[in-house]
Structure 1
Amino acid sequence: MVQRDSQGPIIKPTGEELERQAKAASANEAQASEKLRGPLHTDLGKTTIEDRVVQKIASIATREVSGVYAMGNAARRTFNSLAERIPGAQANAAGGVSVEKGEQQTAIDVSIVVSYGFSIVEVSSEIRSNIIAQVERATGLEVIEVNVEVTDVHLPEDDDDDTETRDGLK
C-alpha cells in the first residue's frame, strides 16, 4: 500500500522491516545502558571520584618506583620546599601529576626527576605499570594512558651543593 504526502510516496515497512527496526532499537538501548555499567555505575547508585583522588594515588604509585628522585618541574619543587618551611603549611602531595578523567576512564601525566644511574626507560615503564595497577585497583577507572615527562636527572654532587649552600659554606 502506497501513501502520499507533500514530498512524494511513502512506502509502509513490511513486517520483517519492522522486526529489524525493533531489534536495532533494542540493541542501541542495550549498548547505551552497558556504557553506563561498570564498578562505578550500578543499579544501586553511582560513585564519583574527584580528580585529586586519582592524582594522589598516581603520585604515591610514582614515588614507590626506585629511581624517582623527585616529582614535578623545578618551579613545583621550589614551591614545595618553601611550603615545607612554613609552620602549618602542606606541600601538594599530588605535585607533578595531572589527570584527565571521564566517567569510566582516565589519562595521567607525570613529571619526574630521575636519579642518575637509573635507566629512564625502565623507570618510566615501572611508573606506568605501578600507576595503572594502583589506580585501576583503587578506583575502578580504566587507565588508558600514562605519559611520563622526565624534567631532570639528579646527580650525587647536587646533594653536596645543596648541603654546602644551606650550611653557609659557599
Structure 2
Amino acid sequence: MTPAGPPAQENTDDPGARGSLTISERAVERIASHAALEVDGIGGSAPRVLGVTVGAEEAERNVRIAARITGAVVALDVRLSITYPAPVGSTAESARTHLISRVHALTGLSVSKVDITVTALHRAVVTPRRIR
C-alpha cells in the first residue's frame, strides 16, 4: 500500500496548459464602445436600419462598433459623432489611436485597422443658466 500524498501539482506556468480563452466579437464591440467614449469630443451614433438613421443623432448614445476577429487580430468599424467645434480629423485620429491601445490592453488582441465614420457633429452641451 502506498501512502496517500497531496495530489500531483500540474505545471501552470505555461498559459497554454491552463486552457484557452475565446473573446467574442460582441465583447470586443462593447469594450471598444466604452473605450471610444474615453476620448474628449467623442459621442455616440444613432442606430441605422437599411441605411436609414433611426432616432436622433445624440452625443449621449453609445458609439456603434462592429468587430471582426481573425485569430488574434481584430478589425473595427466605428460609427461616432464629434463635438463641434473640435477638429474632426485630429479627434478621429485620437479616437483611432486610443481604440488600438485600449482594445489591445483589455483583450490581448492586436487591432489591424480602425475604420471611422463620423455620423454627426454636436454642439458642446451647455448647462442653461437659471434665473432666480
| TM-score (norm: length of structure 1) | 0.54
- Give the greater-gyration-radius structure (CA): 1
Q: In structure 1, what is the Cα distance between the partners aligned to 2:74 and 2:110?
A: 6
Q: CA deviation at 1:56?
A: 0.9
Q: CA deviation at 1:155?
A: 3.4
2:57–2:120 contact (8 Å) kept in structure 1: no
Decide which structure has greater helix share. 1
Which residue matches 2:113?
145
1:73–1:112 contact (8 Å) kept in structure 2: no
Larger displacement relative to structure 2 (43-52 or 107-116): 43-52
Q: CA deviation at 1:44?
A: 3.2
Q: CA deviation at 1:115?
A: 1.1
CA deviation profile, 1:2-43 (whole Å, cap 9, x unmatched) = xxxxxxxxxxxxxxxxxxxxxxxxxxxxxxxxxxxxxxx724
For CA contacts below 8 A with separation 6 or more, give which structure has more relative contact order. Answer: 2
Aligned-residue CA RMSD (Å): 2.9
Q: In structure 2, what is the Cα distance between the partners aligned to 1:153 and 1:66?
A: 13
Mark the runs of 5 or more structure 2 residues left unpaired by the alignment. 1-14, 127-132
- For the structure 1 residues 79 and 145, does the alpha-carbon distance in structure 2 shift closer, same or farther, using more than 3 Å as the test? same
Aligned length in residues? 107
Which residue matches 2:45?
71
| TM-score (norm: length of structure 2) | 0.68
Which residue matches 1:8?
none
The one of 33, 36, 40 equivalent to 1:59 is: 33
Mark the runs of 5 or more structure 1 residues left unpaired by the alignment. 1-40, 82-90, 161-170
> Percent identity between the aligned chains?
25
Q: In structure 2, what is the Cα distance between the partners aligned to 1:122 and 1:58?
A: 19
